[in-house]
Structure 1
Amino acid sequence: MRRCLPVVGVLITLLWVPSIAQDARGALDAAIAAMGASNLHAVEYTAVKGNQYALGQAPGPGKPWPRFTVTQYSMRINYDALVMREQTTRIDDEKPPRGGGAGGYNPESQQGGIRPIPFGPNVITTLRNGQTPDGALQIWLTPHGFLKGAAANAATLTATPRDRNGSLSLSFKAFEKYTVTGTLTRDNLVERVRTTVAHPLYGDSVIETQFSGYQDVGGVKFPSRMIQRQGGFPLLDVALTAQPGAAAAAALTVPAPGARGRGQGEGPAPAPAQGTARLTTRELAPGFWAIAGIQSFIIDFRDFVVVVEAPASPARMEEVLAEARLLAPGKPIRYVVNSHQHADHSGGLRAAVAAGLTILTHEVNVPFYNTMLRNPATIEPDALARNPRAPILEGVADKKVITDGTRVVEVHHVRGNLHSEGLLMVYLTKERMLIQADLFSPRQAEAKPLPWSTITANFYDNIRRLKLDVAQMVHVHGGTDPFDKLVAAANLPHE
């Protein structure tokens, strides 16, 4: 009799696996019917109020993302063509502004680079191709998009039993690395959708969209409120109106490769294309180089090298480190100086950790990085995932002097700045050059003059407090400016 038990176990398992698949498919079919998803080919969601938040741009480590007020929002989806277009009109009305999120400088609108964002409402437009992982995930993070994605990936579909509230979860796998999970209510409406995505600093990062206030529009159920979160904090919170079959949504076509829309985005900038060519460098002074792009800087000392800033991504930072070794062959890299914790300025730190380098940052950032730089990165394994190490972090309180006896470089805390509470600037004493990040936004000569910014004024006040003899500012986001430009910007009339 005992010899039959394994056979019985195998038979039970074989019967159980199809049962799971049938339960999952049955739950999906019930949700498609309840939501009217099979009849929906295109939709436009609109909103005239809400909030948008800037991922990775908090005023301090572990704090919520900065808030912007949404005055108009549109999300168009063509489910047949697998295309999404989002447009957000926002105003920077937080007084005073805390954190980042202004985005890069846009010569056309003359916006970006500094908060408060100048010259009226700020418009961000993003096109997404659902044939790509990023585009597909964004479509699947909508209620009907999730159901259509689950149906398209039915071979990997699984379900959990309903809980005491009558809710259940459906999950499917796609692109060999993503698991997308939707929670259905007892009425078979999509309550939330979540997945895990790759982030250059945070590693594996959960993004979740929650839906509520469903209403019937022409036999299709649509949510009247949507809240999206990432990193534990909201990204978007809007009250929605749905127009199924909207002509503008139905007319969407697959965007051309590389099209990302217009306007200022948030979070880490995309890393430059990887290749075999060396990075473009410019020598600003003997032994002091700027690397083009979202700039890193290389400072050559007698028997070591210092790299300032680890932006964008681990892959980009690997190239920066390789360039430093070419410019100063045989010299070890003693420090990687991190200006602040915003993702576009720290997205390459994981590569620095993988290389065993010491990261110099403000002391308030040390606990934050000790957590972030130990996170797994399984979605897109990077240098640190391939070569796990504990981060080596050195915190700066107010000032750190780096010298070889001849060259002197001072790292100073920018006290009381609302952009980031743990922000550092780097002063080359002999050259009278000051490396700064996000505290002053350079403009073309013909551009409209910027309004006064408390962030820029505080930067100037810190330079005066420290009695730094600055001749030239060197901007992490590109370019240089004489110190006189900062003096003029900091002393503009203001309320």
Structure 2
Amino acid sequence: MQKIQQGFTSSWLWMVIACVGLMACASAPRDSADAVLQRADVAMGGTTLRGISFSGGGSGATFGQAFDPDTAWPKISYSSFSRVADYENAAFREDAARSRAEPTGGGAVPLMGSGEQRTSGLMRGNFAWNLAGTTVTPAPVSLSGRVHDLWTTPHGVIKAALVNHATVVVRNVAGRSLHAVSFTVPGRFRATVLINQDGLVEQIESEQPHPVLGDTPSVIVFSDYRDFGGVKFPMRIRQNMAGFPVLDLAVAEVKPNPVSGIEVPAAVTTFTERVTVDQVAAGIWFVSGGSHNSVAIDMKDHLMLVESPLFDGRALPVLAEVKRLAPGKPIAIVVNSHHHFDHAGGLRSAVAEGATLVTSDLALPYFQRVLAN
């Protein structure tokens, strides 16, 4: 009986080994990542594509402005939305007319029913800025996100993968075999792009650094491709970030190889964070100089900082200036007014310096989780 049992077990073992071998073969790509990417580049009309612009309308969200921590980003409506991706010059532009689609949540969007807000955000190389009419405002906090937006367009992701040592496996999705090509843009983001048998980009899964969330996942889905003078582009783009929707765009117009005209203004290339300190009472200083402010308070054996906003690029010079106010005293406490990302973007830097975070009971569990990421 023992012999029979051993034989039965042995037979099943060989069957399992055979199945595993077949699975491995099914998931092993026959072509290199470069070969897969080059075929996709040809299929999508990207080999001579220097850039692309597209526009349409739909819905989006005010990322980082949720009404409660760990809930969906407040929904907004886009009456118009356009992007220009200039691959040749590593430049990007986004213009939008947006309004609230729900009454709650933060951000600078006009109150529900009060009309639209028009925004223009640009990037070239290592510089990002916003435009309001002819007024230029440096926006270094937005650089990483705009780099991600440029190189996660359908053609941009192929170009980025080709120069960043991509790898490939075959992934089975709903009974279909898709090439999953993975790569990293150093210091910016890592991504896996799913390419179907027609050589079209169907989905991009990525992670990018964020001052509040840490490594932040994003999924972009492309569908309904059409041909524009030999260049194929999707007519529907849907994206989520950190698990919640941020864009659902119905594309209406596509222009291959536009002249982007994106040049970095002098006010942007010469920009440095300015920290201004004004004493408002004994041991109390108002710390300004940027779009968001802080307050420093001198305590018996330490300093307290109220608000550490935006991102590391703002937080670090603020922390350095505050420490100069009372040499030898550490910044032991950082007080956060609320969880919105523009007010919380510098908390990671303050906590890394040893400060204890003081915030609301509602926000504390959220920050404990995300700041550990």
Matched, 1:100 2:106: yes
Runs (4+) of structure 1 exceeding 6 A deviation are: none
> CA offset at residue 79 of structure 1?
3.5
CA distance in 1, matches of 2:194, 2:296: 49
Give 2:61's aligned residue. 53
CA offsets per residue over residues 252-277 of structure 1, 9 Å max, x none? 134215778xxxxxxxxxxx836xx9
Give 1:449's aligned residue. none
Normalising by structure 1, report the TM-score. Answer: 0.59
CA distance in 1, matches of 2:182, 2:89: 23
Matched, 1:158 2:154: no
CA offsets per residue over residues 205-242 of structure 1, 9 Å max, x none? 22332211222333332111111222221222110124
> CA offset at residue 66 of structure 1?
1.2
CA distance in 2, matches of 1:51, 1:233: 13
Corresponding letter in the other structure for 1:185? N
Change beyond 3 A, Cα 1:305–1:176:
closer
> CA offset at residue 190 of structure 1?
0.4
CA distance in 2, matches of 1:259, 1:188: 42
Give 2:44's aligned residue. 35
Give 1:453's aligned residue. none
The structure whose residues are more often strand, as a share, is 2
* 1:331-346 alignment runs, 5 A limit: 331-346=329-344
Change beyond 3 A, Cα 1:159–1:242:
farther
Is the Cα–Cα contact under 8 Å of residues 335 and 360 in structure 1 kept in the other structure? Answer: yes
> CA offset at residue 291 of structure 1?
0.3
CA offsets per residue over residues 73-123 of structure 1, 9 Å max, x none? 1122334444332111112242xx211121xxxxxxxxx6xx517963211
Change beyond 3 A, Cα 1:167–1:341:
same
Give 2:191's aligned residue. 180
CA distance in 2, matches of 1:82, 1:325: 38
Equivalent of 2:370 in 372, 377, 389: 372
Give 2:119's aligned residue. 124
Matched residue SS, 1:362: coil
Matched residue SS, 1:226: strand
Give 2:16's aligned residue. none
Change beyond 3 A, Cα 1:137–1:316:
closer
Equivalent of 1:291 in 274, 287, 290: 287
* 1:41-80 alignment runs, 5 A limit: 41-47=50-56, 49-80=57-88
Structure 2: state its 5+ residue gaps: 1-27, 128-142
Give 1:357's aligned residue. 355
CA offsets per residue over residues 421-464 of structure 1, 9 Å max, x none? xxxxxxxxxxxxxxxxxxxxxxxxxxxxxxxxxxxxxxxxxxxx
RMSD of equivalent CA atoms: 2.9
Is the Cα–Cα contact under 8 Å of residues 21 and 157 in structure 1 kept in the other structure? Answer: no
CA distance in 1, matches of 2:176, 2:186: 32
> CA offset at residue 285 of structure 1?
2.4
> CA offset at residue 142 of structure 1?
0.6
Corresponding letter in the other structure for 1:192? Q
CA distance in 2, matches of 1:149, 1:334: 43
Change beyond 3 A, Cα 1:227–1:177:
closer
* 1:61-460 alignment runs, 5 A limit: 61-94=69-102, 97-102=103-108, 115-116=110-111, 120-129=115-124, 134=144, 136-151=147-162, 153=163, 156-163=165-172, 164-175=175-186, 178-245=189-256, 250-256=258-264, 273=272, 279-292=275-288, 293=290, 294-375=292-373
Is the Cα–Cα contact under 8 Å of residues 43 and 242 in structure 1 kept in the other structure? Answer: no
> CA offset at residue 300 of structure 1?
2.7
Corresponding letter in the other structure for 1:244? K
> CA offset at residue 332 of structure 1?
4.9
| Identity among equivalent pairs (%) | 35
Length, aligned pairs only: 324
Change beyond 3 A, Cα 1:67–1:177:
closer
